[in-house]
Each structure stands twice: as structure tokens, then as C-alpha cells.
């Protein structure tokens, strides 16, 4: 069947979204019923210059594509329809209603206007009168279980051991498998309605879309596995005496209902199955339930636990809490002051310090890990591993006096195309000189690893040389960071490690 676009009135509602240029979000329905057909559709999107954002295996995709390429999808077998506007879900089967319902909410003008008017936006997670997600005492409670979970996982994957970098911590790049488990019940108090399931899915995908949208170069794709086990635990089985085991009770019962062993090994097996079945680089689970839990939202090990009400934040903030908790899965620490954070502890695959901790940051900025805000700071980007994506060249070397350096390829003394020259006028007077159209900006002494390409783009570049003379006017003291816009138009950062006739430097140039 040939694909059709937003002109098809049978499937589309009254809302059409036209866009000229850029990348346009689209909803794709597939005719295949297996991962092979879905992966072929993903490749088709990528071949046309787009990328897949969400995959509801095996039949639905949400992708972004150049608008002029959208009609070309009709030429590909396996794609049955393409939508840019809202989709009528009346009479649809449950799978379509679930996926299309999340899409419809995502593009709804009312939904986006409501988000703009959200009174909770911008509040610190530990705002007076509010409870923060994943507070320190919750992390402490699960420390022993997390160690056991890690031991079981490392038994299966011993190659992950070792640090730094800490290869046991994933980076938020590529295809990520997400097991979304609604722990339903035969007990009225804990039952989940289809409407609630649809709402929380919409909020979940919204939060994950926000994260992946912050770094397109990471090529993040969220591939979902949905489960809705129905268990029969009663309220009287959750007492103050066994509060620390509340999650164990309903989680293990849910795992058993899903066909897994009701223990941590079963949890690991389910998440590994999601990773394998979705052909993902990483996987984790999000458990959503009305059953009692020790906190309204928290993360430990390889899964997130979410309550429907997310305490006083309300269901319309579910998405940003999911994004915050997913940050923890991928190595981000909390940054709000009452979390007990400090600016020296190291986090994430690349062991970046938590230098945006509200209690001690030199230049604190509101961030997803400190506030209810759709923004991340450079340190959080580093914790997620994004400072290492799309690197053109990087390394450590000694820049010899009188020599030039090409930041694009990392070559000293190139025959052409150099970006900087370490000029030696005499024994005292020295300059770092931009060449061949390259420009420089002195950044002071920020944390080098946490400086992202976004920060580099925001600098004020000039063709002025930088004084590196061997006297009090020296601006190239150890620890100094220089932003470079290369002659090739790329952004780079350079750190001075040692000073003298020769300079010891680190550099990273982004593609």
C-alpha cells in the first residue's frame, strides 16, 4: 500500500502542520509486524536525511525529516501512511490508539500552551513546599540492592568493569531501549485505566523527546517495549514495618506476571531482553504504578519508578520528572542544594565534576538536575557523555615554540591550513596568533571537560592575538582555556597544561 500524507482526511483530524525547511516531525505507520521491517523503515528515514525519535515496535515511528522528503516515503514498501497532523483514533486498535494518542498530545496546540503556562516551571526541585525526586535518603536505602544488581549485571558483562572512564555507565547516544511497565492490579485502588496509561505514555515520550532534542548529534532513538502486568496484591500487604520492601513486593510480582523470575535477576533479564529485542545500545525500565512506594519518583540501578501524581508537581509535570530520572540512569547527579551535592565529586562515563552544584558553583545556572526546567548545563552534558560526540580531532601534545598547529586535524607544523601560531618574538615576548581566518576567545579557566560545543558557539571570537609573554601580562597560564573557531569553520577548545618556550596543551575540535 502506498503511503499517504496529511491530505488523507480518513485518518487525519482537522489539524495539519505545514513547515518549510528544517526537520519536520512526522508519525509513520508500518505494514510489517517484525523488527526487520521496522529497522528497514528506520534506514529509509535516515537515507532521506531524517532521524527516528521514537519507535513503538513493530508498527509505528515518530521521526523528523526534511519537509520536501516527506512525500518520498510513499515510494517505500512497508510504510503504509505518513502523518504530519493529528490522527483520528476512534475505532483504532489499542496499539494505534496508544501511539497515536501520545502523538496527538505532543502536537496539540492546547498541550503546548498549557506547558507554557505551567506554574511549576523553573522551580528548584527542593522548592519549599515541594518534595524533590530521588532525594539522598532514597539513594541510600537502595545502595545495597544496587550493589547486588551491579554484581549480577557484571557477571553477565565482565568487560564493563574498570574506570576511568567508567565503562559501566552508559552514554546517552544511539538507540536506547525503554521498557515501560505499567504495574496494574485487580484491586480497584491500584487499577490503571487506559486513559491514564495513554496520558503517562504521552508524558514519558515528551520528556524523552526533550532530552534527545538537546543533542541531535548523539542520534538518540527511543525504542519502546510496553508491558502491563496485572497483579493482585492488597493494601494490607504494605505496612510501615516493610516499607523498605514495598517496591520489591509489587515489582517482583509484576516480573512474575511478565514471565520472569520475581527477583533482581528477573529484572536484569527483562531489561537485557529489551536491549536485545530492540537492537539497542542501552536499555532501562520505567515502572509506573499506583502501588505504594517509598517516594514518588526515584532511580536506582537500571530502572526508574514513577508515581502517577508525582507528589505536588502534578501529572502535567510527569514528563520533566521522567527526563530528570533518566538523567540519573545515564550518570547525572542532582544539583539542587539540599541533595548534598558538591563540586568535586565525579560523575558519568567521562567522570566530569558536578561543578553546577547549587551549593558551591562559581556560576550556577538552572538545569534539569536542579530545577523543573527544560535546559541542561554544560556539566550535565558532560555527565551524559555528549561532550565526546562528533569529535573531529582531540589529544594532548607539546606545541613547540615558533610552530603552528592545525586544530581541525591535530597536526603541528602543517604545510597549510594552520589555525594558531605560537610566536616567539624574543625570550620574553610571545603571542598565540590566529591564522588563515581562524579566530580566538579567551575563556578564563573553566572546567575544560565540561565546555561543550554550545558554549564554544556562544563565545565572542576575534582575530586578535593572545599575549603569552613571559611576564605579568601572560594570559596563557596553566589551566587557561582558549576557544577557537578554526579556518574550517569548526569549534574547538584548547587548554594550557604547562607554560614555557613550549606549551603543553590539550585540545578537542568538534565536527
Report the mean per-residue pLDDT for the chain. 89
> Is residue 369, in this structure, part of any structural domain at all?
no
Neighbours of 447 (CB within 10 A): 18
CB 408 within 8 A of CB 487: yes
d(CA 400, CA 362): 33
Mean per-residue pLDDT for 225-235?
97
Q: How many domains does the chain have?
A: 3
Mean per-residue pLDDT for 246-259?
97
pLDDT tens readout for residues 311-341: 889 999 999 999 999 999 999 999 999 999 9
Q: Look at residue 295 and tell me whether its pLDDT is greater than 70.
A: yes
> Is residue 383, in this structure, part of any structural domain at all?
no
Task: Enumerate residues 6+ apart whose C-beta is below 8 A from 338.
Answer: 126, 132, 135
HEC secondary structure over 375-431: CCCHHHHHHHCHHHCCEEEEEEEEECCCCEEECCCCEECCCCCCCEEEEECCCCCEE
> Is residue 249, in this structure, part of any structural domain at all?
yes
Decide: helix, strand or coil at residue 223: strand
> Is residue 106, in this structure, part of any structural domain at all?
no
Q: Look at residue 44 and tell me whether its pLDDT is greater than 90.
A: yes
> Is residue 121, in this structure, part of any structural domain at all?
no
d(CA 322, CA 204): 6
Residues 163, 216 share a domain = yes
Mean per-residue pLDDT for 294-321?
92
pLDDT confidence of residue 390: 75
Residues 89, 38 share a domain = yes
Q: What letter would DSSP give residue 12? A: B
Q: Look at residue 8 and tell me whether its pLDDT is greater than 90.
A: no
pLDDT confidence of residue 14: 40
Residues 294, 163 share a domain = yes
Alpha helices in 1-63 (DSSP H): 35-47
Residues 76, 186 share a domain = no
CB 41 within 8 A of CB 33: no
How big is the CA angle at 236 (ends 232 and 238), to the nearest 5 degrees?
Answer: 85
Residues 395, 329 share a domain = no
Neighbours of 100 (CB within 10 A): 23
pLDDT confidence of residue 159: 42
Between 264-277 and 143-156, two packed helices, what is the crossing angle to 10 degrees?
50
d(CA 108, CA 103): 8
pLDDT tens readout for residues 434-451: 999 999 999 999 989 888
Domain's final residue, options 309, 334, 359: 334
Domain's final residue, options 93, 119, 152: 93
Decide: helix, strand or coil at residue 233: coil
> Is residue 373, in this structure, part of any structural domain at all?
no
Residues 151, 83 share a domain = no
CA nearest neighbour of 134 among 306, 288, 287 = 306
Res. 166 pLDDT band, cuts 50 70 90: low
Helix (H) or strand (E) holding 297: strand 297-300
Decide: helix, strand or coil at residue 269: helix
User: At 62, which CATH number?
Assistant: 3.30.70.80
Residues 271, 146 share a domain = yes
d(CA 14, CA 6): 10
CB 340 within 8 A of CB 138: no
Mean per-residue pLDDT for 362-384?
92
pLDDT confidence of residue 16: 65
Decide: helix, strand or coil at residue 293: coil
Please give the residue range of the domain that contains residue 473: 391-510
> Is residue 306, in this structure, part of any structural domain at all?
yes
Task: Kindly state the percentage of the chain with pLDDT values over 90.
Answer: 72
d(CA 333, CA 318): 19
DSSP assignment of 102-168: HHHHHH-HHHHHHHHT-TTTT-BTT-TT-PPSS-HHHHHHTHHHHHHHHHHHHHH-GGG--TTTTTT
Q: Look at residue 153 and tell me whether its pLDDT is greater than 90.
A: no
Pairing of strands 481-485, 439-442: antiparallel
Residues 141, 88 share a domain = no
pLDDT confidence of residue 155: 59
Q: What letter would DSSP give residue 462? A: B
Residues 148, 296 share a domain = yes
Residues 303, 414 share a domain = no
pLDDT confidence of residue 163: 38
Domain's final residue, options 41, 63, 93: 93
> Is residue 461, in this structure, part of any structural domain at all?
yes
Res. 5 pLDDT band, cuts 50 70 90: very low
Task: Enumerate residues 6+ apart whose C-beta is below 8 A from 166.
Answer: 331, 348, 349, 351
Amino acid at each position: 500500500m502506498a503511503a499517504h500524507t496529511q491530505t488523507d482526511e480518513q485518518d487525519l483530524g482537522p489539524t495539519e502542520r505545514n513547515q518549510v525547511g528544517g526537520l519536520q516531525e512526522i508519525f509513520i505507520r508500518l505494514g510489517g509486524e517484525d523488527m526487520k521491517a521496522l529497522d528497514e523503515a528506520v534506514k529509509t528515514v535516515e537515507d532521506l536525511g531524517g532521524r527516528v525519535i521514537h519507535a513503538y515496535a513493530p508498527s509505528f515511528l515518530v521521526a523528523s525529516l526534511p519537509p520536501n522528503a516527506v512525500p518520498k516515503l510513499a515510494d517505500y514498501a512497508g510504510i503504509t501512511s505518513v502523518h504530519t497532523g493529528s490522527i483520528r483514533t476512534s475505532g483504532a486498535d489499542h496499539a494505534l490508539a496508544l501511539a497515536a494518542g501520545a502523538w496527538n498530545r505532543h502536537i496539540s496546540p492546547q498541550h503546548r500552551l498549557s506547558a507554557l503556562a505551567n506554574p511549576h516551571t523553573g522551580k528548584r526541585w527542593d522548592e519549599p513546599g515541594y518534595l524533590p525526586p530521588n532525594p539522598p535518603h532514597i539513594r541510600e536505602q537502595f545502595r545495597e540492592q544496587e550493589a547486588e544488581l551491579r554484581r549480577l549485571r557484571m557477571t553477565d558483562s565482565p568487560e564493563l568493569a574498570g574506570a576511568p572512564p567508567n565503562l559501566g555507565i552508559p552514554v546517552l547516544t544511539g538507540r536506547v531501549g525503554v521498557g515501560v511497565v505499567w504495574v496494574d492490579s485487580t484491586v480497584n485502588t491500584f487499577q490503571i485505566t487506559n486513559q491514564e496509561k495513554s496520558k503517562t505514555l504521552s508524558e514519558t515520550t515528551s520528556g524523552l523527546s526533550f532530552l534527545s532534542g538537546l543533542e541531535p548529534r548523539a542520534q538518540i532513538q527511543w525504542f519502546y517495549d510496553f508491558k502491563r502486568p496485572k497483579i493482585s496484591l492488597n493494601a494490607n500487604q504494605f505496612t510501615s514495618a516493610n516499607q523498605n520492601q514495598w517496591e520489591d513486593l509489587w515489582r517482583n510480582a509484576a516480573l512474575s506476571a511478565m514471565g520472569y523470575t520475581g527477583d533482581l535477576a528477573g529484572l536484569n533479564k527483562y531489561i537485557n531482553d529489551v536491549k536485545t529485542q530492540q537492537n539497542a545500545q542501552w536499555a532501562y525500565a520505567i515502572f509506573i504504578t499506583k502501588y505504594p512506594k517509598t517516594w514518588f519518583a526515584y532511580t536506582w540501578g537500571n530502572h526508574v519508578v514513577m508515581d502517577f501524581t508525582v507528589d505536588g508537581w502534578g501529572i502535567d509535570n510527569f514528563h520533566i520528572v521522567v527526563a530528570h530520572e533518566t538523567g540519573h540512569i545515564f550518570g547525572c547527579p542532582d544539583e539542587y542544594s539540599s541533595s548534598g551535592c558538591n563540586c568535586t565529586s565525579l560523575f558519568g562515563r567521562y567522570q566530569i565534576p558536578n561543578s553546577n552544584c547549587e551549593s558551591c558553583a562559581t556560576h550556577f545556572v538552572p538545569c534539569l538536575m536542579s530545577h523543573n526546567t527544560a535546559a541542561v548545563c554544560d556539566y550535565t552534558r558532560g555527565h551524559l557523555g555528549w561532550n565526546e560526540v562528533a569529535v573531529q580531532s582531540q589529544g594532548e601534545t607539546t606545541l613547540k615554540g615558533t610552530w603552528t598547529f592545525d586544530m581541525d586535524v591535530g597536526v603541528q607544523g602543517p604545510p597549510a591550513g594552520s589555525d594558531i601560531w605560537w610566536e616567539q618574538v624574543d625570550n620574553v615576548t610571545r603571542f598565540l596568533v590566529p591564522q588563515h581566518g581562524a579566530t580566538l576567545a579567551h575563556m578564563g579557566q573553566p572546567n575544560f571537560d565540561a565546555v561543550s560545543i554550545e558554549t564554544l558557539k556562544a563565545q565572542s571570537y576575534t582575530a586578535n592575538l593572545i599575549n603569552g609573554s613571559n611576564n605579568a601580562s601572560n594570559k596563557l597560564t596553566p589551566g587557561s582555556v582558549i576557544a577557537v573557531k578554526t579556518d574550517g569553520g569548526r569549534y574547538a577548545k584548547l587548554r594550557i597544561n604547562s607554560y614555557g618556550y613550549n606549551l603543553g596543551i590539550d585540545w578537542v575540535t568538534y565536527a
